[in-house]
Amino acid sequence: MTTHLLRGASPLGGAATDVLLADGRVAALGADARSGADAGTVTVDADGLVLLPGLVDLHTHLREPGREDAETVRSGTRAAAAGGFTAVHAMANTSPVADTAGVVEQVWRLGRDAGWVDVFPVGAVSVGLAGTQLAELGAMAHSAARVRVFSDDGQCVHDPVLMRRALEYVKAFDGVIAQHAQEPRLTVGAQMHEGAVSAEVGLAGWPAVAEEAIIARDVLLAEHVGSRLHVCHLSTAGSVEIVRWAKARGIAVTAEVTPHHLLLTDELARTYDPLYKVNPPLRTAEDVEALREALADGTIDIVATDHAPHTREDKDCEWAAAAFGMTGLETALPIVATTLVETGRMTWADVARVLSSAPARIGRVDTGPTPQGRPVAVGEPANLTLVDPAARWTVEPRQLRSASTNTPYGGRELSGRVVATFLRGRPTVLDGAPVDTDLDGTDPR
Amino acid sequence: MTGLRHLLSAADLDHAGAIAVLDTAAQMAATQSREIKKLPTLRGRTVVNLFFEDSTRTRISFEAAAKRLSADVINFSAKGSSVSKGESLKDTALTLQAMGADAVVIRHHASGAPHRLAHAGWVDAAVVNAGDGTHQHPTQALLDAFTLRRHLAGGSDNPDGVGLDLAGTHVAIVGDVLHSRVARSNVLLLHTLGARVTLVAPPTLVPVGVEAWPCAVSYDLDGVITDQQPDAVMMLRVQRERMGAGGGAASGATSFFPSPLEYTRTFGLDARRLRMLPDHAIVLHPGPMNRGLEISADAADSDRSVIVEQVSNGVAVRMAVLYLLLAGEREGWS
Ligand SMILES: [Zn+2]
């Protein structure tokens, strides 16, 4: 296997050093790295670049099986690599639903064969996401896919008894329930955040309380049964308060925020452009500020993309008829850099925590056959991302690698760009572009 | 000043623009009392009525307005056709574009559909919003303002109130504000014209976020009538699906008020409340009415009711809108 020498990289934004990648691992740092390189070593000029552990997404919709017209495991993971990721958790709301060992193993194999990132399938909590009967959680946990994260994402596990049983049951294999917190009766027909803008533009409201009520219930359930709870795409200031309270109480709750909820607000609904239609909806500027603060102070543990590709026909229509969701894999790191690093509220070490080590730990993929989210240290797997923190670039939807173009950031200028990504020492991205054939000309995938 | 390209919301009109439409409508109304009603103004222009939602009264009003301006009119009723499921708004728009439509009058069940039609790059035509979801119905607000101006601002020397606004008048809008595009349009336009607006409704039928609107909100119709003596009361239609048991909650949706009877007792305009209004006050309703629910027959048919006049004023106002959008630039359109 080709060895790589990263010259002058700054691990977590610290002092520049050289890093040698060999045999899938970080083989040496500093002077040892230079002396360890040989004639066959490929040198990557990393001067001025920040070296991060490969990013880990806990919330990706890859759409395969079922909606290969919007995204496939191959196209989605290629986009993920371009965004600096070396692992993604593939959500279960496919067709068929990933509610059996067979489907999760299929997704896992598709990911392994594509070779862009490690794909960790998320298993459904309930059969068919119907919210009535537990799916075979144990079978998925003990399958080749080794599922640890279970979610009915897209639907809320709203039945409190089913939620309690799920929280309890996954303790047997150290699993976690990732809840899409949305009280269904309070959000019938909901189109956007309920507030001043919805009142004016006449789109049915999705009230903050519909999210907060479920989170409040779930942290109490998690406390009662002593289980781990993960809250997906937390979007309101009130949700932050509940999670803060629960953590102070010692409840085993973790929470994620999406890049779009860190940047965009419900004001965008005034355009009626369904590119801004997402679930949970874009909230107010006050919510955005509360989410940034909570991410910086650790109340929110991680950033997860909720990458949700959709075909053009599902977005090229009136708002109410359009699908919920936006793509996000290739813009996640730049948005965190723009909203939190550039503003001085987070360091690159914090970025490594919220986009790599913490999501890997929540998903229990920091150990096992293909560990992710590990420190940048000698002997660790060489899952790495090089970021140019000074690069400013304008998002051009057609240049992104997802098979779908429903990004809300078209024309927006962002800071920070992924230059290279390595998956166990093999470059998946170099010079900012996916490596579609191996360096010796053969297709590694 | 360049002409307005589209009329999507009452917010598109500033004070001068709104007065210009109303004054033009007054001119149009004057022509309608002549023996020959038809004007040659829009000869050779094509106006498409694109209705994704049933509304015979609004469609024939726009149709009459366009025809009296000598435009060619195409009625495209999309409800129940391929549009409701398969064919998209976009494909329909591209068809209209190919047909050479100069103006598209659109009624749609989805809020923002006219906005998409105007701004997604699908058509070049001027777009007139004839009611979208629970968002806006600007020509309804214009015809209401025209009617209010005639009765409350005009005098014997200026019966249509030409050149005047509605400064100093107080209008109570009563009923299902939450789902009403008529209420949203009227709040904006009446505020632009200087009127004071009070929304009166049960709290369940007032949207969260109403605090940002330029109006007052009350839950007490008797109190508003007694204490504030509004110059006009505009009753909103209450739809069957908002009602409680016995009112047809077939969808399984939870009703917004306990019963039709309780609604009528608390928020209906009946003979007693009519008598409590000041002598000059008028009663409006955008139609179609639910007699016996939000308005009693006594109120609907009283001499204070201008509901029938609203219909004829609607044609004049829509003539003015089509004329100003299609017959070139006009002052006051921002
Ligand atoms: Zn979700």
**Does residue A251 sit in the same domain as residue A342?**
yes
Cross-chain CB nearest to B89 (options A202, A273, A318)? A318
Question: Which chain B residues are closer than 8 Å to A317 by Cβ?
Answer: 88-90, 116
CATH of the domain at A93: 3.20.20.140
CA distance B135 to chain A (A): 4
How many contiguous H segments (helices) and E segments (strands) does chain A have? Answer: 13, 19
Domain count, chain A: 2
Query: Average pLDDT in the B180-209 region?
Result: 97
CATH number at residue A34: 2.30.40.10
**Chain B residues inside the 8 Å CB shell of A201:** 111-112, 135
- A97 CA distance to ligand 1 centroid (A)? 15
For the segment A251-262, the average pLDDT, to the nearest whole number, is 98
Q: What is the mean pLDDT of residues A26-34?
A: 96
Confidence of residue A441 (pLDDT cuts 50, 70, 90): very low
pLDDT band at B37 (very low <50, low <70, confident <90, very high): confident
The residue in chain B having the minimum alpha-carbon distance to the alpha carbon of residue A269 is B112
CATH of B10-136+311-326, one of 1.10.287.3510, 3.40.50.920, 3.40.50.1370, 1.10.730.10: 3.40.50.1370
Overall average pLDDT of the A307-316 stretch: 94
Report the share of chain A in percent with pLDDT over 70.
98
Question: A218 and A88 in one domain?
Answer: yes
- Identity of the residue in B89, B134, B136 whose CB atom sits nearest the CB atom of A317: B89
Residue A158 near residue A214, CB atoms below 8 Å: yes
Residue B253: is its pLDDT beyond 50? Answer: yes
Residue pLDDT, tens place only, A131-162: 999 999 999 999 999 999 999 999 999 999 99
Closest alpha carbon within chain B to A316 = B90
Would strands B232-235 and B170-174 be described as parallel, antiparallel, or unpaired?
parallel
CATH superfamily of B138-310: Aspartate/ornithine carbamoyltransferase (3.40.50.1370)
Higher pLDDT, A319 or B83: A319
H-type alpha helices, A298-417: 332-336, 348-352, 358-362
- Going from the Cα of A122 to the center of ligand 1, the distance in angstroms, rounded, reads 13
Q: What percent of chain A has pLDDT over 90?
A: 97
Cis peptide before A334, with omega less than 30 degrees from 0? no
Q: Which residues of A touch B111 (CB under 8 A)?
A: 191, 201-203, 272, 319-320
Does A367 fall in a domain? no
pLDDT in the model for residue B268: 97
> What mean pLDDT, rounded, does chain A reach?
96
Neighbours of A165 (CB within 10 A): 16
Q: Per residue in B155-176, pLDDT tens?
A: 889 999 999 999 999 999 999 9
A30 & A68 share domain: no
Residues 230-289 (A) with a CB less than 8 A from some CB of B: 271-273
Annotated binding site of A for substrate: 61-63, 93, 279, 310, 324-325
> Residue with structure tokens 């998320």?
A122
| CB pairs A-B closer than 8 Å | 80
Q: How sure is the predictor about B6, in pLDDT bands with cuts at 50, 70 and 90?
A: very high
Give the pLDDT confidence score for residue A392 in this predicted structure: 97
CB under 8 Å to B35, separation ≥6 — which residues?
none
Residue A372 in domain:
no
Q: Is residue A345 part of a domain?
A: yes
Q: Which domain holds residue A401?
A: 4-51+378-434
Residue A445 located in a structural domain: no
A410 CA from centroid of ligand 1 (Å):
23
Q: How confident is the model at residue B332 (pLDDT cuts 50, 70, 90)?
A: very low
Asked if residue A236 belongs to a domain, the reply is: yes
| Helices B15-31 + B181-192 axis angle, to 10 | 100
CA–CA distance from A252 to each of A89, A220, A246 (Å)? 20, 10, 8
Q: Which of A50, A13, A55 is nearest to A259 (CA)?
A: A55
Q: Does A439 score more than 50 pLDDT?
A: no
CA distance linking residue B194 with residue B47, whole number of Å:
32
Residues A39 and A118 in one domain: no
Q: Report, as an integer, the average pLDDT of A347-369.
A: 98
Q: Does B137 reach chain A within 8 Å, measured CB to CB?
A: no
Has A438 been annotated as catalytic? no
Chain B partners of A321 at a C-beta cutoff of 8 Å? 88-89, 110
Give yes or no: residues A415 and A285 share one domain: no
Tell me how far apart the alpha carbons of residues B24 and B84 are, in angstroms, rounded to a whole number.
36
Residue in B closest to A191 by C-alpha: B111
pLDDT digits (tens, 9 = 90+) for A202-226: 999 999 999 999 999 999 999 999 9
**Beta-carbon separation of A202 and B133 below 8 A:** yes
pLDDT at A438: 54
Question: Phi/psi zone of residue A207: left (φ > 0), alpha (ψ -120 to 50 degrees), beta?
Answer: beta
Nearest CA distance, A202 vs chain B (angstrom): 4
Same domain for A137 and A278: yes
End-to-end CA distance of chain A: 14
- Confidence grade of residue B244 (pLDDT, cut at 50, 70, 90): low
Exposed/middle/buried for B31, CB within 10 Å: 0-12, 13-18, 19+? middle
Per-residue pLDDT tens for B80-125? 544 444 467 888 899 989 989 999 999 999 999 999 999 998 999 9
C-alpha A363/C-alpha A419 separation (Å) is 26
Place of tokens 């003539």: B319
- Closest CB to B135: pick one of A201, A205, A317: A201
Q: Inform me whether the pLDDT recorded for B191 exceeds 90.
A: yes
Same domain, yes or no: A42 and A98:
no
Looking at the fold, whether A45 and A67 belong to one and the same domain comes out as: no
A189 to chain B: nearest residue by CA? Answer: B253
Q: Please name the residues in contact with A260: beta carbons below 8 A apart, sequence gap of 6 or more.
A: A278, A282, A306, A326, A328, A335, A408
Rounded to whole angstroms, the Cα distance separating A305 from A85 reads 11
Give yes or no: residues A238 and A256 share one domain. yes
Together in a domain, A169 and A299: yes
> In the prediction, which pLDDT does B148 show?
98
Nearest CB partner across the interface for A194, out of B116, B132, B208: B208
Looking at the fold, whether A427 and A286 belong to one and the same domain comes out as: no
Q: Which residue of A has its CA nearest to B92?
A: A317
pLDDT, tens digit, 9 for 90 and up, residues A273-304: 999 999 999 999 999 999 999 999 999 999 99
Same fold, B10-136+311-326 and B138-310: yes
Asked if B113 has any chain A CB less than 8 Å from its own CB, the reply is yes
- For residues A372 and A365, is the Cβ–Cβ distance under 8 A? yes
Neighbours of ion ligand 1 (CB under 5 A): A 153, 180
Q: Report pLDDT digits (tens) over A379-407.
A: 999 999 999 999 999 999 999 999 999 99
Strand B72-77 to B103-108 pairing? unpaired
pLDDT band at B252 (very low <50, low <70, confident <90, very high): low
- Domain ranges for chain B: 10-136+311-326, 138-310
CA distance A159 to chain B (A): 19
**pLDDT band at residue A420, thresholds of 50, 70 and 90?**
very high
* Ligand 1 centroid, distance to B289 Cα (angstroms): 42
Pick from A202, A313, A317: CB nearest B135: A202
Mean of the pLDDT values across residues A42-50? 97
| pLDDT tens-digit series, residues A72-111 | 999 999 999 999 999 999 999 999 999 999 999 999 999 9
Give A-chain residues touching B135 at CB under 8 angstroms: 201-203
Q: Which residue has the higher pLDDT, B120 or A251?
A: A251
Binding-site annotation, residues of A: 59, 61-63, 93, 153, 180, 233, 279, 306, 310, 324-325
Q: What pLDDT, on the 0 to 100 scale, is given for residue B2?
A: 39
Chain B within 8 Å of A321 (Cβ-Cβ)? yes
Per-residue tokens: B165: 């606004």
Residue B225: pLDDT over 90: yes
Q: Which of A99, A266, A306, A350 is catalytic?
A: A306
Mean predicted lDDT score pLDDT of chain B: 90
Rounded to whole angstroms, how far apart are CA atoms A78 and A100? Answer: 26
Tell me whether A328 touches chain B (CB under 8 Å). no
